Amino acid sequence: MTMKALRVKSMVIVLIMAALVLFGFPVRGEKSHEKNLVIYTPNGGELTGPVLKAFKARYPDIDVSLITGGTAVLMSRIRAEKDRPLGDVMWGGGTELFDANDALFEPYKSPEDPAFAVKDPQSRWHAYSVLPKVIMVNTVLVKPSEYPATMKDLLNPRWGEAGGVALSNPHYSGTGYAIVTALVTKYGWDFMQELLVNAKVTESSDAMFKMVREGEAPIGFINEDLGAKWLAEGAPVKLIYPKDGIPSEVDAVGIIKGAKDPKAAALFLDFVESKEMHELMRNVLMRRSARADVAPPASLAPTSELDIIMRDARWISEQQDKILKDFDIRLAKVPGILRDRLKKK
Amino acid sequence: MGDPMRGIRQENSSGDVHIREVAKRFGTTAAVNKVSIDVQNGEFLTFLGPSGCGKTTLLRMVAGFLTPDAGEIYFGQALMNSVPPWKRNVGFVFQNYALWPHMTAGENIAYGLKIRKLSRREIREKVREVLELVGLPDIETRYPSQLSGGQQQRIALARVLVLNPGVLLMDEPLSNLDVKLRGQMRAELSRLHIRLKTTTIYVTHDQMEAMTMSDRIVVMRDGLVQQIGAPLEIYDKPDNVFVGGFIGTPPMNFVDAVLAKEGDAFFVQGKGFKLRVPEGKFKDLGPYLGKEVIFGIRPEDIIDQDFYSGEPGGNVITAMVDVTEPLGSEVLLHGRFGEASIVARVNPGTRARGGEEHLLLFNMQKMHLFHKETEKAIEVQEGFTVTDLGKVKQAEKRGFQG
Amino acid sequence: MADSLKTVKPTRARIAAVIRDPWIILSLGLMAILLFLIFYPQLWIVKTSMSAETGKSLTLGNYGRFFTEYRFKTALVHSAVVSLLSLAGATLIAVPMAFILARYVIPGKQFILSLVTMSVMSPPFLGAYAWVILLGRLGILSQFLRKIGIPFGTIVGLPGIVWVISWVTYPLIFLVTYDAFCSLDPSMEEAGMSVGASRLRTNLNITLPLAMPGIITGAYMAAMAAFADFGTPVIIGGNYSVLPVLVYGEFLSEVGGSYAMASTGSVIMLVVSTLVLLLQRYYLSRREYSSVGAVRVQPRRLSPGKTVLALAGIMFVILISFVPHITVIITSFMKWQWGIVKPLFTLANYAKVWSEASKPIVISFFIAGVATLLDIVIGLFIAYIIVKKNYKGIAPGLNTLVMIPYIIPGTVLGIGFILIFNKPPVILTGTWAILCISYFVRKLPFAVKSIESSLYQVHPSLEEAAMSVGASSFRAFRDITAKLILQGIVSGGTMSFLMNITEVSSTIILYAAPWITMTIVIFTNAISAGSDFGLASAMTVVLMASVYIPLYVLNRLVRGRGGVQAVQTT
């Protein structure tokens, strides 16, 4: 009798194991709350904290869960979940990324739309903040007399010898893509080739920012708001607004197509795009609002004084593969060019 | 109530074991090759052979740890092939004792009883009984690591004896013990067997164990049975060259020879020797006449001529002595004649010295003859009796010692 | 002769025997599960790597791209360079130290050994970040060096990656090599000296080659760890791109990434690690000396002067390997704002861990715990089948299958899981289960191998003895083997748990809110330029505590259990 019992027991164990591994784990999102809002955002706690607190105060019956992560991670998750969306709102991410993934977002007319200068003709994304990319120098490594004034000054071979111009690879970094497309728009690919000879190409924008702050590169690009924050905290950096034009990105908010709770999603979008919340965002992040009626942070120059390089939205979204390929070709040429230069010396 | 087999279906009640054409292979090598053996109830049977001969494999098939590829194993009338080990009611004693290190000696012994769901009191009683049987009444609470090798061996034995197994299987149980202890345990195992009369199959490569303990011995080699018989029968009448050479220390001498005939007498003849075959020893030597044979003789059947006081005459050869090994009670003499090397066990007073020639007498009454190709023994005449070779001169033996 | 032995067992009896044996059914079940979890995702990666951007036909075009395009080519070369140099570095640290500790009387040997064991479990990112702070261009030590006249530039870039990985991986080589040096049969060396070789020559010509299989085994683990490391190059690599980072970027790019290219990179990584494994196996198969003696080498005494020297060297190594730990403890008490550190002592970081990130601690323990439990239970069954059951095809099949995760870089495993679990029949993306299964699969080889080795220590006759006194095979396993290997299971399980709780490279691909683990909190806060590194430091300290306290307890437990001799070897 014992044998039989043991055999049965062992079978049961196997079955439980198999079931556990394959089916038993509770799958998140199956139980749906009537008022349950899932927000995907690359923004940090310093912004999401106060915004959600205010939202909660306004709509106490909506449960909000926050899913934070890198813009790319979140966007690929939305892409992966497109047949079975688990999120409702994407709060943050460049407009180009929204354009490239426009099938993933639901058009929505927000009452706040008229306040914005930049708009999606299809109303899939709604502008949030403006992120100019300026030049940042490390003041420990660079003397004030050597500060560049223009983008063109970055081509001076001196920068290459001093450690390179930090630039994030447009393949992996939206910031890098914005910078590269802007510079190519303004000066063409030959300029880019020259810049790459001087550059230190990083795999992420974070690496680019940190490189300059930590002195691994004397100079590079930075999102204006983060640069301003670092300045305020006393980091050894200086921001330079190049006179010959500034690359810029606009980030946005959008409702995910097939959202479980589109009503709550719309409520949140209207809320986060309100003037009040934009002022909060400006104060917390030191970031320029995309709303025409919200002034930039006090320490930053007025938006009207910035010479933003305007890019062709269709070119940057439709020709993306070609642009990246052109970039690669030029990057690959760099070792050869450097070798030739050494020979000439 | 006290039935130790309660809770377990007993598949064998009689103690006889029948192995029928059993074969087992590992990969491409046949470990056991169609072996048939009948083990009688109450018998002490030994599988003897060099390592790799298949004896342990065969034993493990009897125990049920291995399943035969072909053939059948019966306990009494019952076919055992697909019966798992735990239903065979065999007791297995392992070479390394296989005591469970996390249980005390007592718990080791009690484990099988516990499985049989005996009451605690019964278990305690039986454990005490069997510990007395193996002569270790006071070590119940000790762990195996606190016991000596001999004690561990006895506990391992007690562990199976307490269950009163139908068949006791022992796999080289004494080989991990030192020489002195081995001798003791040998005697003790024999005593136990006489007392309990449990059918026992014993595996060993040690011919001394086999000779002293067994009722019968199965000599094995390369997965095949070479000979089955009582110890002395195997010693005196080896069926083939292998058995002759395997049993006895030092082993039997083998010399290549040709069978010749002069008048009525047969001779084994080779380079530098010509020895007469005793009349009537072999059944029919006619077919072998003029053919090559293997002539075998045990070292103790070669005698130092100096110590022989009987009839002078034939069967003496002059050997070149290579080296002598005095062992106290005897001397092993390594010598050569013609192309043959031999070992003789001679009187300790021998004058033979390495590098010198010496006369050796062959006791041809005890000679063996083997077929050259098959290495099988040439059949001995039924009823042939070995006559006394004569007296060794005691006086001279003393004289040489001076 | 061989044919005459052919079995003529009726098939029906055979099938009946199979069905009667529960282990066979279990084996087949496990095989199916492992095939699905280990083999199938890799198959999908291969398939994805061969998918064209348009159309459904399979193509090798992505491989063409990989080997012609600049950024892929360089990353591959860089990865090879990183692996080889780090391996050299780690070996240079580990082997001499192992030799000295194994062969000479060194005071505090046990303490040193436990410190080295501790440093195996170095929490992720930690090393890299600490060394940036110390030896970056504007690092504390770099500035000091320049002040005293040494023209030190920066460690960031290739030197940094190699330096950090060497210090993280040397314990892997050390522990194996130390064992090898300890267990060499001393008579081998005595024989060397007796034929006139000096002690140095003996060491070089006899000891070192004999210990080589051990060194190579450790070296393989170290090289693979270096090859698959994601965290270190991300933090300290500067613009030196390596394959895992590139594949991660390609998979989760904001701009032009593609699953196809990420999968192609993954396949390349898989191929490289498989080749290296085969190379290692080939090497080992050709020199299986098994010269392990029963007699352990008696450590020799050194003169007091030399002892001090050796101790100083060892202390230096230990100190360097704990520099990251010390640094992170210090930084966890500093004030950070927007990624900028302030020279202010504060407990705010810990307060923040408590208020904002206490959930990840629970989640980490939960997921790692469940995964470990699975590792132990399934690992136990698999190890048992591999060691004790000679099922044709199944046992060796399981053995091979279970070792595959060993060569799958975490990033690749993560990508494979995403590819198969983001669609029916089993959708697991975004759940905790996918992390759990990934941890389970990643550490299964370790669990199986550690249980396997304790099983090998349990002589088969122990179980047979139980069967011969009437215990069924299951009961014999339960009463004898399982009890005897308990200690092995506990230590194997603890190690699996610790590795699970510090896992990064597949977690970053697979994690999804709200299932944020401690490592993700550290990762996101350490990597993003403007975020709170103080929180990352404090969380790292918590993680260190979660790792080292169980390790310490385990050490005490194992040592305290010397009473009963747990294994019997013959």
Q: Tell me, what CATH number does B86's domain have?
A: 3.40.50.300
Q: Which residue among B30, B143, B160 sits closest to C469, beta carbon to beta carbon?
A: B160
Contact flag A67-C339 (C-beta cutoff 8 Å): no
How would you classify the pairing of strands B167-171 and B199-204?
parallel
Q: Let me know the angle formed at the C-alpha of B119 by B118 and B125, rounded to the nearest 5 degrees.
A: 90
pLDDT grade for A33, boundaries at 50, 70 and 90: very low
pLDDT value of position A219: 95
B80 and B166, same domain (yes or no): yes
Q: Is residue B173 part of a domain?
A: yes
The answer to whether A125 touches A253, Cβ cutoff 8 Å, is yes
pLDDT value of position A199: 93
Q: How many CB atoms lie within 10 A of CB B149?
A: 15
Partners of A291 in beta bridges: A116
Q: Is residue B374 part of a domain?
A: yes
pLDDT value of position B57: 92
Q: Percent of chain C, pLDDT > 90? A: 12
Identify which has the larger pLDDT, C393 or A199: A199
Q: Which residue among B89, B98, B101 sits closest to C565, beta carbon to beta carbon?
A: B101
Chains meeting C at 3+ CB pairs closer than 8 A? A, B
pLDDT at C162 over 90: yes
**Strand (E) or helix (H) holding A237:** strand A237-240
A147 and A240, same domain (yes or no): yes
Compute the distance between CA of residue A206 and CA of residue A90 in angstroms, rounded to an integer: 21
- Could you give the count of Cα atoms lying within 13 Å of A338 in the half-sphere of its Cβ? 15
Q: Is residue B397 part of a domain?
A: no
Q: B399: which residues sit within 8 A by CB, 6+ positions away?
A: B349
A157 and A201, same domain (yes or no): yes
Q: Report the residue of A3, A11, A27 to disrupt the C interface, i.e. the one with the largest count of C CBs within 10 Å.
A: A27
Q: What are phi and psi of C152, to 5 degrees?
A: -90, 130
Question: Residue B139 gets which letter from DSSP?
Answer: -
Q: Which residue is closest to C532 within chain A, CA to CA?
A: A44
pLDDT value of position B4: 42
Strand order in the sheet with B331-337: B302-304, B357-362, B316-326, B331-337, B340-346
What is the average pLDDT across C460-473?
Answer: 87
**Strand (E) or helix (H) holding B192:** helix B179-196
Q: What are phi and psi of B171, to 5 degrees?
A: -105, 100
Q: Let me know the angle formed at the C-alpha of C504 by C34 and C555, rounded to the nearest 5 degrees.
A: 85
pLDDT at C317 over 90: yes
A331 and A200, same domain (yes or no): yes
A319 and A215, same domain (yes or no): yes
pLDDT tens per residue, range A35-71: 789 899 888 777 888 899 999 999 988 888 888 777 7
**Closest Cα partner for C543 from C493, C506, C500?**
C500
* Residues of A in Cβ contact (< 8 Å) with C241: 203
Q: C273: which residues sit within 8 A by CB, 6+ positions away?
A: C224, C227, C228, C407, C408, C409
B73 and B118, same domain (yes or no): yes
Query: Which of B160-174, C400-414, C546-560 is least confident?
Result: C546-560
Q: C205: which residues sit within 8 A by CB, 6+ positions away?
A: C192, C197
Q: How far is C431 from chain A (nearest CA, A)?
A: 6
Q: Is residue A273 part of a domain?
A: yes
The answer to whether B346 touches B302, Cβ cutoff 8 Å, is yes
B292 and B343, same domain (yes or no): yes
pLDDT grade for B263, boundaries at 50, 70 and 90: confident
Q: Is residue B97 part of a domain?
A: yes
* Domain of residue A211, CATH code: 3.40.190.10
Instruction: Note the residue count of chain C.
Output: 570
pLDDT tens per residue, range C392-413: 778 888 888 888 888 888 888 8
Compute the distance between CA of residue B31 and CA of residue B36 in angstroms, rounded to an integer: 14
pLDDT tens per residue, range C467-486: 888 888 888 888 888 888 88
In C324-406, DSSP assigns E strands to: 334-337, 340-345
Contact flag A72-C257 (C-beta cutoff 8 Å): yes
pLDDT at C124 over 80: no
pLDDT at A304 over 70: yes
Q: Percent of chain B, pLDDT > 70? A: 91
**Closest Cα partner for C119 from C111, C338, C500?**
C111
Q: What is the count of structural domains for chain A?
A: 2
Rounding to the nearest 10 degrees, give the CA dihedral for residues B252, B254, B259, B263. -50
What is the average pLDDT across B228-240?
Answer: 92
Query: Which of A89-103, B382-396, C93-107 is least confident?
Result: B382-396
Q: How far is B310 from chain C (nearest CA, A)?
A: 53
Per DSSP, chain C holds a count of helices (H) and strands (E) of 28, 2
What is the average pLDDT across C241-253?
Answer: 85
Q: A140: which residues sit within 8 A by CB, 6+ positions away?
A: A215, A236, C138
pLDDT tens per residue, range C484-532: 888 778 877 887 888 888 888 888 888 876 788 888 888 888 777 777 7
B226 and B167, same domain (yes or no): yes
Q: Does C19 touch chain B (CB under 8 A)?
A: no
A323 and A223, same domain (yes or no): yes
The answer to whether B338 touches B271, Cβ cutoff 8 Å, is yes
Compute the distance between CA of residue A280 and CA of residue A283 in angstroms, rounded to an integer: 5
- Where on the phi/psi map is residue C414: left (φ > 0), alpha (ψ -120 to 50), or beta? alpha
Range of the domain at B55: 17-244
B298 and B190, same domain (yes or no): no
pLDDT grade for C558, boundaries at 50, 70 and 90: low
pLDDT at B121 over 50: yes
Question: Residue A56 gets which letter from DSSP?
Answer: H
A241 and A316, same domain (yes or no): yes
Q: Which residue among A80, A206, A331 sits closest to C529, beta carbon to beta carbon?
A: A206
Q: Is residue A190 part of a domain?
A: yes
Compute the distance between CA of residue A184 and CA of residue A177 in angstroms, rounded to an integer: 10
Residue carrying structure tokens 């450590």: C299
Q: C162: which residues sit within 8 A by CB, 6+ positions away?
A: C82, C85, C86, C89
Contact flag C136-A213 (C-beta cutoff 8 Å): no
Q: Does B374 touch chain C (CB under 8 A)?
A: no
Contact flag A172-C528 (C-beta cutoff 8 Å): no
A81 and A141, same domain (yes or no): no
pLDDT tens per residue, range C419-443: 888 776 677 777 788 899 999 998 8
Contact flag C238-A200 (C-beta cutoff 8 Å): yes
Q: Is residue A272 part of a domain?
A: yes
Q: Does B8 touch chain C (CB under 8 A)?
A: yes
Q: Is residue A227 part of a domain?
A: yes
In this complex, how many residue pairs, one in chain A and one in chain C, have their CB atoms less than 8 Å apart?
202
A63 and A197, same domain (yes or no): no
Residue carrying structure tokens 């006449």: B289
pLDDT value of position A13: 59
A76 and A189, same domain (yes or no): no
Q: What is the count of structural domains for chain B?
A: 2
B85 and B110, same domain (yes or no): yes
Question: Residue B75 gets which letter from DSSP?
Answer: E
SS3 content of chain A, % helix, strand, coil (to 5): 50, 20, 30
Identify which has the larger pLDDT, C527 or A221: A221
Q: Is residue B85 part of a domain?
A: yes
A269 and A340, same domain (yes or no): no
The answer to whether B54 touches B243, Cβ cutoff 8 Å, is no
Q: Which two tokens stand for residue A102?
A: 């426009």
Q: How many CB atoms lie within 10 A of CB B354?
A: 12
Q: What is the mean pLDDT of chain B?
A: 85
B223 and B260, same domain (yes or no): no
Q: What is the mean pLDDT of chain C?
A: 81
Q: What is the mean pLDDT of chain A?
A: 85
pLDDT grade for B3, boundaries at 50, 70 and 90: very low
**Closest Cα partner for A265 from A41, A62, A1?**
A62
Q: Does C5 touch chain B (CB under 8 A)?
A: yes
Q: Is residue A220 part of a domain?
A: yes
Contact flag A14-C25 (C-beta cutoff 8 Å): yes
pLDDT value of position B203: 95
* Domain of residue B256, CATH code: 2.40.50.140
Q: Which residue among A94, A200, A226 sits closest to C530, beta carbon to beta carbon?
A: A226
pLDDT tens per residue, range B169-195: 999 988 888 888 888 888 989 998 998
pLDDT tens per residue, range C262-313: 889 999 998 998 898 888 888 877 765 544 444 566 777 888 888 899 999 9
B269 and B207, same domain (yes or no): no
B292 and B380, same domain (yes or no): yes
pLDDT value of position B298: 92
B23 and B148, same domain (yes or no): yes
* Residues of A in Cβ contact (< 8 Å) with C33: 17-18, 21-22
pLDDT grade for C159, boundaries at 50, 70 and 90: very high
pLDDT at A16 over 70: no
Q: Which two tokens stand for residue C411?
A: 């990033």
Q: Is residue B121 part of a domain?
A: yes
Largest CA distance in chain A: 93
Instruction: Encode burial over B358-378: b for 16+ CB neighbours within 10 A, e otherwise.
Output: bebbbbbebbbbbbbeebebb
pLDDT at A31 over 60: no
Compute the distance between CA of residue B114 and CA of residue C197 in angstroms, rounded to an integer: 61
Q: Is residue B6 part of a domain?
A: no
Range of the domain at A71: 36-130+250-300
Identify which has the larger pLDDT, C126 or B346: B346
B351 and B218, same domain (yes or no): no
pLDDT value of position B214: 93
How would you classify the pairing of strands B70-75 and B44-48?
unpaired
Identify which has the larger pLDDT, B263 or A147: A147
Question: Residue A26 gets which letter from DSSP?
Answer: P
pLDDT grade for C5, boundaries at 50, 70 and 90: very low
Q: Is residue A66 part of a domain?
A: yes
Q: Is residue B402 part of a domain?
A: no
pLDDT value of position C215: 87
What is the average pLDDT across A97-115?
Answer: 90
Mean pLDDT is highest, among A43-52, B19-28, B311-320, C414-423, for B19-28
pLDDT value of position B10: 42
Q: Which two tokens stand for residue A183?
A: 């510079």
Identify which has the larger pLDDT, A167 or B102: A167
Q: Is residue A30 part of a domain?
A: no
Instruction: List domains and CATH numbers for chain C.
Output: 57-327 (1.10.3720.10), 345-563 (1.10.3720.10)
Compute the distance between CA of residue B298 and CA of residue C459 in angstroms, rounded to an integer: 42
Query: Which of B206-215, C40-49, C421-430 is least confident?
Result: C421-430
Identify which has the larger pLDDT, C55 or C334: C334
Q: Percent of chain A, pLDDT > 70? A: 90
Q: How far is C209 from chain A (nearest CA, A)?
A: 42
A68 and A126, same domain (yes or no): yes
B236 and B316, same domain (yes or no): no
Identify which has the larger pLDDT, B194 or A81: B194
Q: Report the residue of C454, C468, C475, C483 to disrupt the B interface, i.e. the one with the largest count of B CBs within 10 Å.
A: C468
The answer to whether C73 touches C294, Cβ cutoff 8 Å, is no
Q: Percent of chain B, pLDDT > 90? A: 36
- Could you give the count of Cα atoms lying within 13 Å of B82 in the half-sphere of its Cβ? 10
pLDDT tens per residue, range B340-367: 899 999 988 888 888 888 989 888 888 8
pLDDT grade for C381, boundaries at 50, 70 and 90: confident
Q: A86: which residues sit within 8 A by CB, 6+ positions away?
A: A28, A29, A38, A260, C430
**Closest Cα partner for B287 from B259, B262, B267?**
B259
A68 and A214, same domain (yes or no): no
